[in-house]
Chains A and B, each alone.
Chain A
């Protein structure tokens, strides 16, 4: 099952890669814009990861099922990797495009806060030795973080847009044409599948580690 998922993922990613360079056209921004085909899917896939983390956390608190805890852990781990990579690729895209590695616009700030929040989640896991307590505390943190996200979003958005012109930082010219949309969608599928594949393997590994008598 996991192996099939792995092969499907590889297929989607390879096709996506080809499409990003062959099918996708060059836009006004230049070839740099092709970074979008990894940057956006990474970020969106990380959102999926954090939603799954939130749901798994609630499930754990309600049912106390270790499987839910393992899912939350794995999802958090992969989510942090993806969002960190998303921020890095966004930064690399930003330097030639806007002239700067970083800017405190609404979206970047929100994503950076997201990254730090879930990094904290992993840190909390790492510092608690007792497995049952770690599961409980991380579930609570996962729920608090998830509920906080809309608040973060609004506060940062208002901070950047009120009494100030809205951020003009939009990824170059999304006209919605098919030749841009399809590579993006295929890559998005590829990265979501990659997330699922990583989580599946991580969950399986966590289960095996928990079972193995030291």
Chain B
């Protein structure tokens, strides 16, 4: 039945497409988290070696470096309980 190759192709193509899409979604979210982590790490670094005239760093850096050691009280974005702040792992 020569016609049925289209069904085989459809099934395999659909499988590949969906799994690839899921894989890409994972990769995209991982990139987002890494960027967020990096920007957080930048913000919590001490300001001694940064120019005070930089407009972007708006004074609350000292507060944030104090807060970063505690668990944030805001609801976690993923809906999971926050892990212990001392046990951080990077994504790689």
Contacts and interface: CB of A to CB of B under 8 A. Distances in A.
B62 interface: no
A35 B79 contact: no
Given A30-B4, A89-B14, A92-B14, A204 B76 contact: no
Interface string A75-97: 00010010011001100110110
B79 A38 contact: no
Interface string B12-52: 10110011001100100110011011001000000000000
Contacts of A201: 26, 30
5 closest cross-chain pairs (CB), A and B: A32-B4, A209-B78, A66-B81, A35-B11, A92-B11
A148 interface: no
Given A85-B14, A209-B77, A35 B8 contact: yes
B78 to A, nearest CB: 4
B35 to A, nearest CB: 10
Interface footprint category on A:
35 or more
Contact of B8 (A31, A73, A208): A31
B22 A96 contact: no
Contacts, number: 130
Interface footprint category on B:
35 or more
A22 interface: no
Interface of B: 1, 3-5, 7-8, 10-12, 14-15, 18-19, 22-23, 26, 29-30, 33-34, 36-37, 40, 67-68, 72, 74-83, 85, 88-91
Which among A69, A130, A207 has the highest number of chain B CB atoms within 10 Å? A207
Given A85-B14, A208-B37, A93 B7 contact: yes
B75 A129 contact: yes
B40 A213 contact: yes
A164 B83 CA distance: 54
Nearest to A67: B83
Nearest to B78: A209
A134 interface: yes
A32 B30 CA distance: 38
A194 B2 CA distance: 31
Contacts of B76: 131, 209-210
Which among A17, A35, A132, A212 has the highest number of chain B CB atoms within 10 Å? A212
B68 A213 contact: yes
